[in-house]
Amino acid sequence: PSNSSSFHSGADLIPSLLVLHPSALPILFQEELMNKEATEGEAVTLHCKLSKSAPVEWKKGNVVLKPSEKYKIEQEGPFVELTIQDLDLADA
């Protein structure tokens, strides 16, 4: 049986553009973490800004820091802060 449609196998393919949705873009630092100087016994706040909101994990070496009396972790959208209370030399 013959088909009278004008379908052309592969002859009329139109190149399509790759559209990246915001969720597919990599997460980058828009503001890098900066070193801070502080006095022993005081508190210091470290902050950075991401290119979009995402879960953040703070580490010291290989140890993941968890919220506690010593560590206060806050995030509002892409803005992330770590406050270290009662600084001592081991916090360097």
- Domain segments of the chain as ranges: 31-91
Task: Tell me what pLDDT residue 19 has.
Answer: 63
For residues 49-64, give the mean pLDDT: 90
Nearest in space to 82 (alpha carbons), one of 57, 52, 51, 54: 57
Tell me which CATH code domain 31-91 carries.
2.60.40.10
- Per-residue pLDDT of 6-45, as tens digits, reads 454 555 666 666 666 666 678 888 888 888 888 999 999 9
Task: Tell me what pLDDT residue 14 has.
Answer: 62
- Per-residue pLDDT of 68-86, as tens digits, reads 999 999 999 999 999 999 9
- Both structure tokens of 35: 């070193």
